[in-house]
Structure 1
């Protein structure tokens, strides 16, 4: 479950994260200044090397599996992870995901999720995959719902944001029995891309 594997589709490559992705990820964070959004945690271009190091340490500690989200030519456009890896209960959260502005609204995110969900359900035999986002991040909530995930609930005042505000965290999930329909929906979306 913790093995960082390369996941490749037609529109995106999820490459195991390395420090070498740093310059490209700094450019992606600068794209549309996505790091300035108050409803999410995206590193500023200058913070990207430290964020990569944090994710690599968390992977070494057995807590996450981090990827650089790249275009087919290898250009980094964001990051994503299996977060809160729970080997015993065969659950993961797909989280700490962000994309530069020019990659948003394209086939990149749905295909990245299809690749991550396929690995989770078909290769790792997960029982459930979870997603979490800020209550006020309506764009993220719509994107998660469009994947076919169902809202489980809201964790009120769940965490403190960089600016000191309290985040209400919306929790979504896809369970194993829902996976075939979710997979079909994602494939249909990609066929239209």
Structure 2
């Protein structure tokens, strides 16, 4: 299996292989801020958590996703992220289907989680590119992706049909292997800065 399940550990976050045992804490995390009610993103509601974990694990078995439980350093689950749309032949992955409980947003957790995932993708898996996708209207997510150093590849217009038959335009970003050293240096620098 490429990529194989792995635990990635930093100072602010632990990314562990997702299991059904994470469901109770992830139900609580989803309820924090009612993230599942945002129309421009797809966060499972508390009552949908077991089904979402099962869905992600099914995609892992099919070889198209590697799901992680996002946890604080004390191993409290606070969200999910994945390598998805895995393209083994071309050594490409997308980092996506990411969400975090409201109380850990806008802190170092996301920056470090992305740094860990990018480092594993480029330094261990030898990826040629890592992609990010988000709803065109999700400005918070787009700003976070751009702060990582990803560049906008383009917008897929009328790309998907979402809840309530809303049409989604998808903003597609990527970081390529030659950009990784500069992106890594920038993310490391950001993590070393004091936060007010």
Q: Deviations over 1:149-169 (max 9, x none)?
A: 000000001001122100000
Shift in Å at residue 23 of structure 1?
0.6
CA RMSD of aligned residues (A): 0.6
Map 1:7-156 onto structure 2 (within 5 A). 7-156=8-157
C-alpha separation in 1, matches of 2:184 and 2:118: 8
Q: Deviations over 1:75-104 (max 9, x none)?
A: 111100001000000000001001111111
1:115 aligned counterpart, secondary structure: helix
Q: Deviations over 1:160-179 (max 9, x none)?
A: 11221000000000000000
Aligned partner of 2:163 in structure 1 is 162
Shift in Å at residue 134 of structure 1?
0.2
Shift in Å at residue 185 of structure 1?
0.6
C-alpha separation in 2, matches of 1:27 and 1:2: 29
C-alpha separation in 2, matches of 1:118 and 1:83: 16
Q: What are structure 1's unaligned runs of at least 5 residues?
A: none
Q: Deviations over 1:88-142 (max 9, x none)?
A: 0000000100111111101110100000000000000000000000000000000
Shift in Å at residue 2 of structure 1?
2.5
C-alpha separation in 2, matches of 1:162 and 1:22: 23
C-alpha separation in 1, matches of 2:123 and 2:50: 33
The count of corresponding residues between Structure 1 and Structure 2 is 193
Relative to the length of structure 2, the TM-score reads: 0.97
Aligned partner of 1:174 in structure 2 is 175
Q: What are structure 2's unaligned runs of at least 5 residues?
A: none
Residue pair 2:3, 2:125 contacting (<8 A) in 1 also: no
